[in-house]
Each structure stands twice: as C-alpha cells, then as structure tokens.
Amino acid sequence: MVEAEKITKRYGSKWALREVSVRETAGRVVGVLGQNGSGKSTFFRILAGLARPTQGEALVDGQPPSHLTRRFTSYLPEVDPYYGWMTVGQLLEFAGRFYQGWDSERARVLLDTMELSEDAVIDSLSRGQRGRLKIVAGFAWPSRLVLMDEPLSGIDQPSRRRILDGLFNQFKTAEQTILISTHLVYEVEPFVEDVIFFRDGEVTLQGEADTLKRDRNVDLSKLFEEVAV
C-alpha cells in the first residue's frame, strides 16, 4: 500500500529526510514514531502528495502520490487546518462533496463519539475538539489509507485512549491502512502492528511491533528511547 524507496527531502541546506525506505502492506496499523522534527510530518506530506521528494520515489497503492491517490487517502495534519468561520456541519458538508463514498450517517455517529455538535462554529472549539474534528473528517468515508500526523496533540489524556479505542475497534475497516505518527508511544502501543522509528530524518528501525519487542525484550517506549531519541 505504501512504498518509499530511498526518499530524501531537502529544504535549502536542511535535510528533512535522508534515504528513507519503507514498505507497508494494506490493512496494517503502523506507528510512525519519532521526536518532534525527526521527519515524520515531511514523510506524511510526501505520502499525501503535498511535498515532492528531492530524490527517491514514493508510491501509494502503486502510484506516485498526487490528487489521484488523495481520492483514497485521508490526511490528518498536525495543524488545525479548518476554516474558523465554518460550523462543524458546514465543514463536513464541504469536505463530503470531494470524497466518493462520504457517509453522512457515519459522520454523525463519529460526531457523537467525539462529543462534537454540528452547529458549533470551528473558531469556538478548543484545541482538543479541533483534533477530534480532524478524526471525524478523516474517518467519515471509506479511505484506504489514513495518514494521522500527531492526532493526539491537544486532546486531553483521559479522552485519548477512549478515542483511539473507538477508532481502531469501531471505525477502522479491515482493508484500511493507518499510519499514525506520535511521540506519545505508550498511547498507541496497544494498537500498532508495525512501527517505523525516525531520528534526524532517517529511519533507525522498522518492523513488526511484536517481533521487535520480543527480539529485544523491551516495550515500545524503551525501544523508542533506544533508537529515536
């Protein structure tokens, strides 16, 4: 589903990614783990077709990322990307026009789960509520690839586990591939099947989470400290 072959990204003299190679099959939940500034967001932007690699090649479902692959890709950026003047309902209606298979009923269920009102103006939402709105917009249609860039930032700690439980147990479809980036490793540990560790723009370790934990006899948080800090 996702392939990256030695992708490098440079902004001026700064290297954001260096020869990153990744291969993930469909249906997996992948933790993309690294500290802030380690290259996770750049990697996601390349997969979403919003940035081009300086060198190397990225493929999503066999195609270079573009507006065509965005037809089946949900990209949830780390920033708050929505128009403050819109209501939640208007935003979902606007987004729904662009995606085939947008499910308004599913969006309503997601809104209930995330405790959001359709009538709320986005400017009036807290940071955590805006984070939850991104999740609603990202899961309200049957995308095949979900790129969640630090989706838990701003969401209060008690809600995080509940939200992740709901997402992975209630809303994730079997064929959906989810890449979730975070530095809060313990939050996603119960859900991820594969992990990719980033440090200074490079992949330092990747593989099946259970195998890596078993082979090294440590949990993901400890592994994170060893290879990503």
Distances (CA, A) of 27 to 31, 62, 144, 179: 13, 15, 8, 10
Q: Does 107 bind other proteins (CB under 8 A)?
A: no
Q: Does 52 bind other proteins (CB under 8 A)?
A: yes
Helices 104-113 and 88-96 cross at an angle (nearest 10°) of 140
121 forms beta bridges with 87
Q: Which of 37, 84, 101, 207 binds other proteins (CB under 8 A)?
A: 84
CB of 223 to other proteins, least distance (A): 30
SS3 137: helix
Q: Does 14 bind other proteins (CB under 8 A)?
A: no
Q: Does 139 bind other proteins (CB under 8 A)?
A: no
Q: Which of 1, 22, 33, 48 binds other proteins (CB under 8 A)?
A: 48
Q: Does 141 bind other proteins (CB under 8 A)?
A: no
Number of residues in the chain: 229
CB of 84 to other proteins, least distance (A): 7
Q: Which residues of 130-151 are buried (b: 16+ CB within 10 A; e: fewer)?
A: bbbbbbbbbbbbbbbbbbbbbb
How many residues line the site for other proteins (CB under 8 A)?
A: 24
Q: Does 85 bind other proteins (CB under 8 A)?
A: yes
CB of 67 to other proteins, least distance (A): 5
CB of 75 to other proteins, least distance (A): 4
Q: Does 229 bind other proteins (CB under 8 A)?
A: no
> Which amino acid, one-letter code, is at 48?
A
| Closest-CA residue to 150 (of 3, 227, 35) | 35
Contact 56, 217 (CB under 8 A): no
CB of 224 to other proteins, least distance (A): 26
Which tokens is 72 given?
Answer: 């089946």
Stretch that binds other proteins, among 74-82, 150-158, 163-171, 192-200 (CB under 8 A): 74-82
Task: Tell me the pairing of strands 14-24 and 73-76.
Answer: unpaired
- Alpha-carbon distance of 78 to 99, in angstroms, equals 21
Q: Which positions touch other proteins (CB under 8 A)?
A: 12, 45, 48, 50-52, 67-68, 70-71, 73, 75, 77, 79-85, 94-95, 98-99
